[in-house]
Amino acid sequence: MSDARGSSADRNGEARGEAPTSRGLIAHLLDRLPLRSGGFIVTLYGDVVEPRGGRLWMGNIVEIGRMVGISETLVRTAVSRLVAAGQLTGERQGRRSFYRLTEAARREFLSAARTLFAPQSEPGWLFVWLGLDQAGEAGPSLERAGFVRLGPHWLLGPARHRPADPALVVFEAGTAPSPRLADLVAAHWDLAVFAAAYDAFLAAFTGIADALDAGARPTDEEALQLRLLLVHAYRHAALRDARLPAATLPPDWSGHRARRLFADLYLRLSPAADRHVGHHFLAGDERLPAQTAETVGRTASLSRIRDEA
């Protein structure tokens, strides 16, 4: 198994101006992207496990953690905490332990997967009235989904974040062109925070695309490491973005460039990454499939995103 942090030879070669090795690229990313074990396991399930049936052997979780410098102790502690938080559930098969997402966690993952892997339609706007007795209950969850408060009982947000609570009063509005829409957004959303997250993603991963263009050829294991780091970093930016209508965003919005880079790198890394999954990851007595209908669908969606003008 390769060392995720890279060797001194990898780093010295880069310092001399040579093309970076895949191990060097991974080491560079790990220096820039500090990982929390629980969050990285969530990324692993969203990217690899859930679209292949949702069940994975603990030994594989430990192995993937080791690839990116997370110790077995931290991995096992994080899995225990995810179980306690109601996101994972454990199953025994002989002497082996397997974990899958709970049903509640699956619903959250499906919503996140649509954000990461599906083309985004242009949303309208939603006005949500919380009601006189709900101001302190539904408001925080809507704000985490990108809504902003217009008053104690009113929130405004893009229509792609439709609340599921039937007790809320929701009004939908269209997106008639108006030069004042950008003023509305600037007054209520801090676009600089979203842009900074996308800029950091671009700074970290543009070099990966350049290295692949220059002939870098990751092994299957390295391709999976790179793709997991890619998904982890992009997820951090995209799931915090309110994803507002395009007419309200600056002309050179870095979120658009980040999305195309994410799609391009995911597609380029996936053939090798998926081979590693199919050869090494266990769901029980059988290995996880390298591809499923869901992974093929992701590929088709990301191809459309990459090719957007």
Q: Characterize the bridge pairing of strands 125-129 and 148-149.
A: unpaired
Question: What pLDDT does residue 11 have?
Answer: 45
Helices 37-44 and 220-238, interaxial angle, to 10°? Answer: 110
φ, ψ at 82 (rounded to 5°): -65, -35
Residue 190 pLDDT: 87
CA distance 141 to 3: 40
Q: What is the pLDDT, as a whole number, of residue 15?
A: 44
Say if strands 125-129 and 154-158 run parallel, antiparallel, or are unpaired: antiparallel
Tokens of 170: 């929701």
From the CB of residue 304, how many other CB atoms can be counted at a distance below 10 Å? 11
Phi, psi of 191 (to 5 degrees): -65, -25
Tens-binned pLDDT, residue by residue, of the chain (309 aa): 344 555 444 544 444 455 578 888 899 899 888 789 999 999 999 999 999 999 999 999 999 999 999 999 999 999 999 999 999 999 999 899 999 999 988 888 888 888 899 887 777 788 888 876 655 567 777 887 778 888 888 888 888 777 777 778 888 877 666 677 778 788 888 889 999 999 999 999 999 999 999 989 999 999 999 999 999 999 999 988 888 888 788 888 999 999 999 999 999 999 999 999 999 999 988 999 999 999 999 999 999 999 875
Question: According to the model, what pLDDT value does residue 132 have?
Answer: 66
